[in-house]
Amino acid sequence: MGNLDNKVAIVSGSGRGIGREIALKLAREGAKVVVNDLDTAPAEETVAAITAAGGQAVACAGSVTDDGFAERFVQTAVDSFGGLDIIVNNAGYTWDSVIQKMTDEQWDAILDVHLKAPFRILRAAQPVIAAAVKKAKQDGQPVPCRKVVNISSLAGTGGNPGQANYSSAKAGITGLTKTLAKEWGRYNVTVNTVAFGFIKTRLTEASADGAATIDVQGREIKVGVNPDLMTAMEQMIPLGRAGAPSEAAGSVYLLCTPESDYVSAQTLVCGGGFNF
């Protein structure tokens, strides 16, 4: 028996890193999970890990920024598992530059993936949730508490040099979260944000020469943190270290459990005690 038995979850960007750990954690607690990644192989690998452990999952590969993706993502949950109970908007990446060097393409790409994509997914989910609530009431059944967890960052709560695009998008997620908490309270949906601090992933792995990159739809995006800077950053964290992806996933899980059914419109900082 798990805390999330019979729940259906969709987790964007869950083929790798933090998103993968979120999907695995929800599945271990009994949720049926729709796994998404930009690429098919990582999504299928996460699905395989879940099913090998006795859970249930399906893949929905593709870019969250593509037209029509949001509807396909939501419909995959309905078609595969019969409903939708948990939405985790996690997909994203960074494309940094100081503002005088930041291009419109950089600005638009990061706003699209971190703010427009979650908006579209939530918009696509509304008819499904509203219909399920209406049916439950007509059948005289209690309306279960559904969960939305939007992923933000300390860059969104306090800003970060070189990340005007990312910080703006993540700050926007807070506004989206608070608005949806008010709009969807009548459906018994809680809507919260988790703001991550320094979590060790492939996007933050030490890169002494600054040459590490990832490919995002044909764009080569620089990633990685200089080892000296990483050490300095960890010294600023009261717990004295960066977080692990599994720990980041744990904070998301907290807001998906029945114990958080009366918590909504909040931002939970997962940063080892560091905050701006």
The pLDDT score that the predictor gives to residue 223 is: 66
pLDDT digits (tens, 9 = 90+) for 13-68: 999 999 999 999 999 999 999 999 999 999 999 999 999 999 999 999 999 999 99
* Listed residue (61, 68, 80, 79) closest to 11, CA to CA: 61
Dist CA 1 CA 64 (whole Å): 32
pLDDT digits (tens, 9 = 90+) for 133-170: 999 999 999 999 999 999 999 999 999 999 999 999 99
82, pLDDT greater than 80: yes
pTM for the whole thing?
Answer: 0.94
* Listed residue (9, 62, 58) closest to 31, CA to CA: 9
Which of 195-229 are b and which e, b meaning 16 or more Cβ less than 10 Å from the residue's Cβ? Answer: bbbbbbbebbeebeeeebeeeeeeeebebbbeeee
Dist CA 124 CA 63 (whole Å): 15
Provide the 10 A C-beta neighbour count for residue 250.
16
Where does 8-198+244-270 sit in CATH, by number?
A: 3.40.50.720
The SS3 call for residue 152 is: strand
The SS3 call for residue 75 is: helix
For the annotated catalytic residues, the residue numbers are: 166
The pLDDT score that the predictor gives to residue 203 is: 66
Which residues, including other chains, have CB under 8 Å from residue 225's CB and lie 6 or more apart? 204, 205, 206, 207, 233
210, pLDDT greater than 70: no
Q: Where are the domains of the chain?
A: 8-198+244-270
Tokens of 40: 């098919």
